[in-house]
Structure 1
Amino acid sequence: MTEHLDSQADLDDAIRALVRLDPRLQQVLDVAGTPSLRRREPGFTGLAHIVTGQQLSTASAGAIWGRLQVAFDPFDAEAVRRARADRLGRLGLSAAKIKTLKHIARELAAERLNLDVLANEDADAAHNTLTALPGIGPWTADVYLLFCLGHGDAWPAGDVAIQEAIKVGLGLAARPNAKQMMPIAECWRPLRGAAAHLWWTYYRAFKKREGVLGAEATPTKANAVSNNVVVAKPSSSRGKIAARSSPGPARIRPKSAKTSPRSKS
């Protein structure tokens, strides 16, 4: 049975269940405090919002998303399917993102893809369905499952912030990589998504203690993620954490660049 995190009460119950499953998490919860539920719009709009922000600073991503919403009312799969690529490009989307969004729009129109049913699928199967789409990598897939669908067992194994939090919280000698993160989280099934919320909150708590992160930022939209959360796409770069007021996850910002590094989305 797939667990869902549709309300704060759902997340609270899931965190209590996680502590019963793994008593080590009690000390993590004591430091982090109860995580706040983060949710974004589901369906094509939510996925398109995430894709739009890939490889961009929060400000740039927000500006492009704003232009898309003004230009198309509503900005949905059918609007993207019908839109000329050059028009989407003038609004700020790269050729790769246009290709990704148009492919998804065509798949939805042909009923070969249903983004909403992924909420009830096994987390790993849902992840694989999304990453099979051109331009959708593991980070994008996991963020969609967690924040747009509230999938209770989605596990962003490649997320740098969660990796670092687990290293500190479990007293590991080194930060685990994506492959090593899978067996670590096995005992948290079917609530790995709730564990991700807890580890992000823990990460933020100990980084604030170190003076790396400032005060919580105020969310920019009522339908955005309810609070700032650190979500870092996998990267080999190490750098400072940029705290952001963002309708989506914040990211690790390397010292040598103004925007987050991305490989595949």
Structure 2
Amino acid sequence: MAHIPTAAEIAVARQALAEADPALARAHEQTPVFEWRLRRGGYEGLFHMIVDQQVSVASAAAIWARVVAGLGGVVTAEAALAHDIEHLRTFGLSIQKARYAHEIARAQVEGRVDLDRMDGLSDAEATAALVSIKGVGRWTAETYLMFCEGRTDVFPGGDIALQEAMRWADGAADRPNEKQAYARAEAWRPHRGVAAHLLWGWYGGVKRGEIAREEVIMGAAA
């Protein structure tokens, strides 16, 4: 069962991050208290994350509603495998996502990856298990472990919004690439997942106009 990080745990981790890394101190000061983003896990959770990718929020919600209805109201690996690829596509899924629905389902029912019992695996082991499934990339695996299992030291370095917030935090001219983002986040162990939530919160607040940010690059106001 996923552990939901408490408000107190998040607050302690945020303070530790701000004290350990001045680059995060301003983000910490400007970003309001947030709750952990927790989603349903298991087969349903991973399949849902795949459905949500590369489409608008509204489109994803509409497609997912059709998936749930089409599978009889309960999204399980067995229910997905009871329908062929073409039938899954009638729910609004692309052929690729319909195939991934089967790939994930087979991994579950064959016991190659038990999505309901990953708590005995380390973060690295769990990530490796997830990316072994066709259609599940590293970003998907890491965000699944964060949002569906409540893991607090997982950092999806390939996330563009995180990379941009990291650029702001470091006052850099260029956004870090994925490799650089992972390397930079090493300083935030064992709270990298909290750092990700903090940076996402800061980024979102700035984009919505709720947080004022003065960008400084190489000592000059930009």
Per-residue CA deviations over 1:201-247 (Å, capped at 9, x if unaligned) read 111222233899xxxxxxxxxxxxxxxxxxxxxxxxxxxxxxxxxxx
3-state secondary structure, aligned to 1:172: coil
* Structure 1: runs of 5+ lacking an equivalent: 213-265
3-state secondary structure, aligned to 1:195: helix
2:163 corresponds in structure 1 to 163
**2:125 is the counterpart of 1:125:** yes
User: Given the superposition, is the C-alpha separation of residues 211 and 152 from structure 1 closer, same or farther in structure 2, using an over 3 Å criterion?
Assistant: closer
* Aligned positions of 1:226-245 closer than 5 A: none
Structure 2 contact 153–189 (Cα < 8 Å) conserved:
yes
1:183 corresponds in structure 2 to 183
User: Given the superposition, is the C-alpha separation of residues 57 and 24 from structure 1 closer, same or farther in structure 2, using an over 3 Å criterion?
Assistant: closer
2:6 corresponds in structure 1 to 7
User: Given the superposition, is the C-alpha separation of residues 210 and 35 from structure 1 closer, same or farther in structure 2, using an over 3 Å criterion?
Assistant: closer
1:193 corresponds in structure 2 to 193
Aligned-residue offset at 1:125: 3.0
User: Given the superposition, is the C-alpha separation of residues 211 and 188 from structure 1 closer, same or farther in structure 2, using an over 3 Å criterion?
Assistant: closer
2:172 corresponds in structure 1 to 172
Per-residue CA deviations over 1:147-173 (Å, capped at 9, x if unaligned) read 111111111101111111111112122
Residue type of the partner of 1:67? Answer: R
**2:89 is the counterpart of 1:89:** yes
* Aligned positions of 1:108-123 closer than 5 A: 108-123=108-123
**2:118 is the counterpart of 1:140:** no
3-state secondary structure, aligned to 1:97: helix
3-state secondary structure, aligned to 1:38: coil
User: Given the superposition, is the C-alpha separation of residues 187 and 51 from structure 1 closer, same or farther in structure 2, using an over 3 Å criterion?
Assistant: same
1:52 corresponds in structure 2 to 51
Structure 2 contact 30–211 (Cα < 8 Å) conserved:
no
Aligned-residue offset at 1:116: 3.7
User: Given the superposition, is the C-alpha separation of residues 162 and 119 from structure 1 closer, same or farther in structure 2, using an over 3 Å criterion?
Assistant: farther
User: Given the superposition, is the C-alpha separation of residues 88 and 35 from structure 1 closer, same or farther in structure 2, using an over 3 Å criterion?
Assistant: same
Per-residue CA deviations over 1:63-92 (Å, capped at 9, x if unaligned) read 111011112221111101222222211111
User: Given the superposition, is the C-alpha separation of residues 77 and 10 from structure 1 closer, same or farther in structure 2, using an over 3 Å criterion?
Assistant: farther
Structure 1 contact 108–114 (Cα < 8 Å) conserved:
yes
In the alignment of these two chains, the number of paired residues is 210
1:242 corresponds in structure 2 to none
Residue type of the partner of 2:51? Answer: T
* Structure 2: runs of 5+ lacking an equivalent: 213-222
1:30 corresponds in structure 2 to 29
TM-score scaled by length of structure 2: 0.85
TM-score scaled by length of structure 1: 0.72
Equivalent-residue separation in structure 2 for 1:173 and 1:125 (angstroms): 35
* The structure with more radius of gyration: 2
Structure 1 contact 5–152 (Cα < 8 Å) conserved:
no
* Aligned positions of 1:195-214 closer than 5 A: 195-209=195-209
**2:74 is the counterpart of 1:65:** no
Structure 1 contact 47–144 (Cα < 8 Å) conserved:
yes
Aligned-residue offset at 1:174: 1.2
Q: Percent identity over the alignment?
A: 38
1:43 corresponds in structure 2 to 42
Residue type of the partner of 2:190? Answer: P
2:216 corresponds in structure 1 to none
User: Given the superposition, is the C-alpha separation of residues 147 and 158 from structure 1 closer, same or farther in structure 2, using an over 3 Å criterion?
Assistant: same
Residue type of the partner of 2:191? Answer: L
